Homo-oligomer: A and B are copies of this chain.
Amino acid sequence: MNFVELLGFTAGVFSMSMFVPQIYKTLKAKSAKDVSIQVFILSAVSNSLWTAYGIISIKPAIIVTNVVIFILAIIQIILKVKYDRADKLSGN
């Protein structure tokens, strides 16, 4: 692996780990009221486009990063929908 791809994978690890604290915080609080769902929908769309960009440009760091973040964004969307529904049912 050359220096540029190593740099890309390092950047990718930080990008991927960005989504983990929010998922953890949501799971712990069992609430995501202040969390904007649009962020994660926009993320899923942009990750799909960046994955296409990475495939065409043959940039493995971009492909791997965006596929992983796409999955994490979908998890956060599911949690947001789940907890917002629970909040509504409990009257909060």
Q: Which residues of A contact B (CB under 8 A)?
A: 3-4, 7-8, 10-12, 14-15, 17-19, 21-22, 24-26, 29, 31-36, 38-39, 42-43, 45-46, 49-50, 52-53, 56-57, 59, 61
Contact = CB atoms under 8 A, between A and B. Distances in A.
Contacts of A42: 14-15, 17-18, 21
Nearest to A15: B46
A49 B7 contact: yes
B10 A49 contact: yes
B46 A53 contact: no
A19 to B, nearest CB: 7
A12 to B, nearest CB: 8
